[in-house]
């Protein structure tokens, strides 16, 4: 039986919680390494359409397996479903050691996205909640997704350094090693037994929260805008400053914005605007502001998703949040990589326009709706 069923009280930072956080960080790190590598490889082999096909393939993979995850997690042992997700990531990553061609590469990314989606829904949307005290699940979700954001700071950095200094084969081997370490952490995870249920084979449970589309739209726009700038960074220093920006966002949240959701979102929008304005003049300043603004805005949209869901829909809300994050991140980074060589491309224009639309959409179409629909 799990803590939420037996009434057993657990501290937030127990051993199994730390294993889950580290497993998530390692898998995200191994896949975010591909952010700078995928456009580079696919562009040289197939051009702009191949880049967008690779992005669409990964997101489509997440969507293909998402509706079946609720059935798998209720019909089989949850830890083994998570392990099968990691195994799929490892297997598809290993395929990149071979010459696949553009079609084979996109197919491998499709399966990789499917496996990653299973992993995230099984770990972040199920094991994390089952192994956390019922009164600490919102806090646990925030900590979990902060580890995902930190992986975004270090994943592309590791990808650029490894592929530049050691070549593509060791790049793949390093990504494999990270995922295998995550599998080891999940293997030693102590998950209490739960009798299997008999859910329907295909449903939106644990995958998509339809009434959350109002939150999905500005969240997608914010992450897309940030990723379009992120793809323009070159070298290690901007990514280190990006991680500093994430830590600043977390500090500001704890000290000033903890109970001020709308104020924190407004601050996130403003800091993102500042990041785009600084892009041409100070790359490190833009990176700090980018991490800070992205952290402030996206962490509050996670809370918004959680607060509009019923008690049994928490995993569904978190999966919807994750889908917006990953879809926007891959699309924005691909846009930057594809258009970076064009002299007329300006992340400033893209960022200001999209964040401006996101801010208007939020304050005119989300804020009042959220105030009347939030449950907690």
Q: Which pLDDT value is given to residue 328?
A: 94
More confident of the two residues 335 and 1: 335
Residue 18 burial (CB count, 10 A): 11
Q: Which pLDDT value is given to residue 163?
A: 86
Q: Which pLDDT value is given to residue 195?
A: 67
153-197 pLDDT, tens digit per residue, is 899 889 888 988 888 899 999 999 999 999 999 999 988 877 677
State the Cα–Cα distance between residues 269 and 35, nearest whole angstrom: 24
Residue 58 pLDDT > 50? yes
Q: Which pLDDT value is given to residue 59?
A: 93
State the Cα–Cα distance between residues 2 and 322, nearest whole angstrom: 24
324-355 pLDDT, tens digit per residue, is 999 999 988 888 777 655 555 566 677 888 99
**Helix-strand-coil split of the chain, %, nearest 5:** 80, 0, 20
Sequence length of the chain is: 376
More confident of the two residues 194 and 297: 297
> In sequence order, which residues have a C-beta less than 8 Å from that of residue 323 and are 6 or more positions away?
59, 62, 63, 66, 207, 208, 216
Closest CA to 141 of 364, 272, 347, 298: 298
Please state the rounded mean pLDDT for residues 279-293. Answer: 90
pTM for the model stands at 0.91
- Going by pLDDT thresholds of 50, 70 and 90, the confidence category of residue 4 is very low
Q: Which pLDDT value is given to residue 376?
A: 57
- Going by pLDDT thresholds of 50, 70 and 90, the confidence category of residue 140 is very high
Percent of the chain with pLDDT over 70: 94
71-105 pLDDT, tens digit per residue, is 999 889 999 999 999 999 999 999 998 888 888 99
Q: Which pLDDT value is given to residue 5?
A: 44
298-327 pLDDT, tens digit per residue, is 999 999 999 998 878 889 999 999 999 999
State the Cα–Cα distance between residues 360 and 14, nearest whole angstrom: 41
Q: Which pLDDT value is given to residue 358?
A: 94
- Contact 249/291 with Cβ under 8 angstroms? yes
The lowest-confidence range among 149-153, 351-355, 371-375 is 371-375
Q: Which pLDDT value is given to residue 231?
A: 81
Joined tokens for residue 6: 């037996």
Q: Which pLDDT value is given to residue 320?
A: 94
Q: What is the dihedral of CA 255, 261, 266, 267, to 10 degrees?
A: 10
Q: Which pLDDT value is given to residue 17?
A: 92
Q: H/E/C letters for each residue in 3-27?
A: HHHHCCCCCCCCHHHHHHHHHHHHH
Residue 357 pLDDT > 90? yes
State the Cα–Cα distance between residues 72 and 363, nearest whole angstrom: 39
List the Cα angle 333/337/341 in 5-degree steps.
150
Residue 3 pLDDT > 80? no
> In sequence order, which residues have a C-beta less than 8 Å from that of residue 268 and are 6 or more positions away?
222, 249, 292, 293, 294, 295, 296, 297, 298, 300
How confident is the prediction for the chain on average, in pLDDT? Answer: 88
- Contact 339/345 with Cβ under 8 angstroms? yes
- Contact 189/16 with Cβ under 8 angstroms? yes
């Amino acid at each position: 039986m799990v803590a939420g069923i037996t009434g057993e009280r657990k501290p937030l930072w127990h051993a199994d919680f730390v294993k889950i956080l580290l497993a998530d960080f390692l898998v995200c790190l191994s896949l975010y390494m591909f952010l700078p590598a995928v456009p580079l490889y696919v562009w040289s082999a197939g051009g702009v359409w191949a880049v967008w096909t690779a992005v669409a393939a990964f997101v489509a993979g997440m969507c293909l397996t998402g509706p079946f995850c609720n059935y798998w997690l209720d019909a089989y042992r949850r830890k083994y479903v998570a392990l099968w997700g990691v195994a799929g990531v490892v297997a598809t990553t290993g395929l990149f050691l071979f010459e696949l061609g553009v079609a084979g590469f996109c197919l491998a990314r499709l399966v990789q996205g499917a496996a990653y989606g299973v992993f995230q829904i099984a770990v972040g949307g199920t094991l994390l909640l089952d192994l956390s005290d019922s009164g600490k699940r919102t806090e646990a979700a925030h900590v979990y997704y902060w580890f995902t954001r930190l992986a975004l700071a270090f994943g592309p950095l590791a990808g650029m350094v490894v592929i530049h200094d050691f070549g593509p084969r060791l790049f793949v081997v390093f990504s494999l090693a990270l995922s295998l370490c995550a599998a080891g952490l999940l293997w030693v995870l102590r998950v209490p037994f739960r009798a299997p249920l008999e859910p329907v084979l295909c449903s939106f449970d644990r995958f998509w929260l339809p009434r959350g589309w109002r939150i999905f739209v500005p969240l997608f726009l914010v992450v897309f805008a940030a990723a379009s700038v992120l793809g323009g960074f070159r070298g290690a220093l901007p990514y280190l400053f990006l991680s500093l920006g994430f830590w600043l966002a977390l500090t500001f949240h704890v000290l000033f914005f903890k109970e001020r959701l709308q104020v924190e979102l407004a601050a996130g929008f403003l800091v993102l605007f500042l990041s785009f304005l600084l892009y041409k003049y100070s790359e490190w300043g833009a990176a700090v502001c980018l991490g800070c603004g992205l952290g402030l805005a996206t962490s509050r949209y996670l809370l918004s998703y959680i607060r509009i869901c019923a008690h049994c829909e928490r995993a569904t809300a978190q999966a919807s949040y994750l889908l917006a994050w990953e879809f926007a991140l891959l699309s924005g980074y691909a846009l930057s990589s594809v258009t970076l060589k064009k002299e007329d491309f300006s992340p400033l224009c893209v960022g200001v326009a999209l964040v401006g639309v996101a801010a208007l959409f939020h304050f005119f179409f989300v804020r009042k709706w959220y105030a009347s629909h939030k449950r907690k």
